[in-house]
Amino acid sequence: MKLSPADSSGPPSWPTHPGEWPNDREEAEEGRRGSLRGTDRDLGIPETHPHAHTAGDAFQPQPADGKEFLDSIMDDPRMHDHLDGFESCIQCGICTSACPAARFTEYSPRKTARRALEGDDSLLTDDSVWYCYYCYTCQSRFPRHNSVAVINQVLRGMQVESGVGVKHVEMFAR
C-alpha cells in the first residue's frame, strides 16, 4: 500500500488500522521479539508509522534479559533511598537537559538510566559513566526523585570490582 495524498489539495490519507501499514503483517510474522516497541501493537498503534513509538514503553515491564544485572544495581545499599525513583523513571530527559557533563562530554544521564533499567550489562565497560561530575543536578531536577549520580556511583563501583574501571582510579591508590 503506497501512502499518498487523498487528493492534491488535502492532507495525506494515512491508514488507521494496524494491518493497513506497509510491511506491518510481514514484521508481525517475523516476530519482532525483544523490542519494547511491540507494546505499541497492544495499544493499536502500527509499528511502521514513523511516529508510532510512544512514551508508554517506559511503563511496560522490562524484559527478563539483564535481570541479574538490574538486580545487582537495585540491591546496592547506595540505591536504598532511590529505588522508587529509579523504577519509575519516565525518560523525560530533564536530567540530561540540566546536566553539565552532558553539555560538555558525550555523557547522557537519560541513556544511562534507561540502559540500567533495561539491565544492559554493557554499562560495565562503558567509560561514559566516568564523565558524571556528581553535582546531583539530576537528582534535584527529577520529577520522580531518581538520581543518575547514584546509579553512576554503583556502576563505577561495579566497574572497579570487575577490573575494567581500575584504570580510572589507580592514580589514587599510589
CATH number at residue 133: 1.10.1060.10
Residue 104 lies in a domain: yes
Considering the domain architecture, whether residues 38 and 84 belong to the same structural domain is answered as no
Residue 4 lies in a domain: no
Residue 10 lies in a domain: no
Long-range contacts of 49-57 (CB under 8 A, 24+ apart): 49/14, 49/21, 55/90, 55/91
Considering the domain architecture, whether residues 71 and 55 belong to the same structural domain is answered as no
Q: Which of 72, 75, 65, 79 is nearest to 151 (CA)?
A: 79
What is the domain range of residue 126?
Answer: 67-166
Considering the domain architecture, whether residues 30 and 114 belong to the same structural domain is answered as no
Residue 120 lies in a domain: yes
Considering the domain architecture, whether residues 76 and 149 belong to the same structural domain is answered as yes
Question: How many domains does the chain contain in total?
Answer: 2
CA distances to 59, 77, 100, 121 from 162, in Å: 31, 18, 28, 12
Determine contact, residues 120/69, Cβ cutoff 8 Å.
Answer: yes
Where residue 70 falls (left for φ over 0; alpha for ψ -120 to 50; beta otherwise) is alpha
Query: pTM of this prediction?
Result: 0.60
Considering the domain architecture, whether residues 87 and 152 belong to the same structural domain is answered as yes
Residue 13 lies in a domain: no
Considering the domain architecture, whether residues 135 and 151 belong to the same structural domain is answered as yes
- Residue that is last in its domain, among 5, 32, 59: 59
Residue 103 lies in a domain: yes
User: What is d(CA 113, CA 74) in angstroms, rounded to the nearest whole number?
Assistant: 12
DSSP code of residue 28 = H
Residue 95 lies in a domain: yes
pLDDT tens, residue order, the chain (174 aa): 444 444 455 555 555 555 555 554 454 444 444 444 444 455 555 555 555 544 545 455 544 467 888 889 988 888 888 888 888 888 888 999 999 999 999 999 999 999 999 999 899 999 999 999 999 998 888 777 788 999 999 999 999 999 999 999 888 877
40, three cell numbers: 505499541
Residue 55 lies in a domain: yes
Considering the domain architecture, whether residues 53 and 77 belong to the same structural domain is answered as no
